[in-house]
Amino acid sequence: MDLKEMAAAEAVKLVRDGMVVGLGSGSTASIAIRLLGEKVRNGWKLVGVPTSRDSEELARSVGITIDELKNHPTVDLTIDGADEVDPDLNLIKGLGGALVREKIIAAATKYEVIVVDGSKLVDYLGQKAPLPVEIVKFASESTMHRLKRFGCVPVLREKNGIAFITDNGNLIADCRFQKIDDPKKLEADLNLVPGVVDNGLFVGLAHRVIVASKDGLKTLERKS
């Protein structure tokens, strides 16, 4: 079993028959979705609330019943990935481009479980990954210019040589910071910039992080 599989399988052990489960995005969360599909094929009744179109498509293909958040204002448990995890379990997410829906569903979730391999653990956010910021298309150059004032270098994300478009029809500016000292403040401040929809800082949302490394599994719990 590879590291992502180990972490995903451990998270799926927390799911119970009858739960409303938030379905994360990215390669590690996708493994969890496939494992949840096995549970459904064994007779479990789960309702999946997907964080992206890709996750929705995958979940449907493995037999998971899908529903919208409006019908389940509270999600029992979400399994999602992350790009960086700091010692306080704050996260950078969104290298897969699903940060807005992921954050909406995380905020509606009673127990948010993050599954990563050990390479995602960092001493401080910004150590390895850029911070994805979802911005509207209108006047995106001006929004990018304002983002620079936060001390980062924003780069418009592209896929196959053209601008990457999110499931919400927006753009992503990947903002490279040297070091993010105060994730809570930066998360709030970035969202005040006109044209910014949301950013990939997830502060105080993860309850548990399951880390798989060559030494085995480690579970990190939020302190408060």
**For binding to ligand 5RP (CB under 6 A), which residues are involved?**
24-29, 80-83, 93-99, 102
In the bound state with ligand 5RP, the residue whose beta carbon lies nearer, of 80 and 112, is 80
- Distance of alpha carbon 11 from alpha carbon 49, whole angstroms: 16
Please calculate the CA angle 60-64-65 and round it to the nearest 5 degrees: 90
| Residue 96 beta carbon to ligand 5RP: minimum distance, rounded to whole angstroms | 3
| Residue 52 beta carbon to ligand 5RP: minimum distance, rounded to whole angstroms | 7
Single out the catalytic residue among 10, 84, 102, 112: 102
133, β-bridge pairs: 173, 199
| Residue 224 beta carbon to ligand 5RP: minimum distance, rounded to whole angstroms | 24
DSSP label of 180: -
In the bound state with ligand 5RP, the residue whose beta carbon lies nearer, of 132 and 142, is 132
Please give the helix or strand (H or E) that residue 94 lies within, else none: none
In the bound state with ligand 5RP, the residue whose beta carbon lies nearer, of 24 and 48, is 24
Q: Is residue 68 annotated as part of the catalytic site, yes or no?
A: no
Rounded-to-10 torsion of CA 177, 182, 187, 189: -90
The residues annotated as belonging to the active site are: 102
